[in-house]
A and B are shown apart, each in its own frame.
Chain A
């Protein structure tokens, strides 16, 4: 079996710009999967240090922001480019089945993993057929 060749997908820009800043933001690529006890959200934010990630839950909306330390680019002149860089932003509407106080986050190799534990009453129950 030959391994799948990776292709590049262009970064998607955040459409609704709410800030007054001229700089553009990008939507991080995401995976969402569900297990019995929790939902897991995985977001790719290359170049973002774990200290520059902000996660907020407000009115049932989970928003994630990753800021880039672009000071590293100082004194460098681009000669050939294939991608743009910028801060990352994405939000998700949470169902009330999530225990919003117990959300945990981990950042590794530019990938943010958020674990959203399900609230007790939201866990699946097996219903016996009588």
Chain B
């Protein structure tokens, strides 16, 4: 029987086991830079998922050059005038992060989806980069 919470637990454990893995080596600024990134493999391709709650879609910019994907933007919070702040945990500011993936990618095939404060980048591996089976004569 399928238990959704067990499935979530398994996913959480899988995510934890990959925390700060050296798969990207020095290709990203690493933990601490905003927004946090998770990278997944889906078949031949990669999916990068970034959490940017409160960022308006039009304030997000994505650029691709070779195998580097740059995500920049700003997060602004407009507090109404004349209010008194009781608690302020949310942060504002600008961000600029580059993710360099260790494979050739198809820059024209990259798709970005933004929903509920989560940015998903679907990164297809370049055809030329895919492994080929070599027949032995």
Contact = CB atoms under 8 A, between A and B. Distances in A.
B92 A80 contact: no
Contacts of B17: 78
A5 B115 CA distance: 23
Contact of A8 (B8, B36, B86): B36
Contacts of B95: 5-6
Interface stretch (B49-57, B61-69, B124-132): B49-57
A48 interface: yes
Contact of A79 (B23, B82, B87, B91): B23
A121 B25 CA distance: 60
Name A's interface SS. Answer: loop
Given A44-B54, A81-B38, A4 B92 contact: yes
A42 B77 CA distance: 11
Contact of B39 (A46, A78, A86): A78
B35 A81 contact: no
Interface of A: 3-9, 21-24, 29-36, 39-40, 42, 44-49, 68, 70, 73, 75-87, 107, 109-111
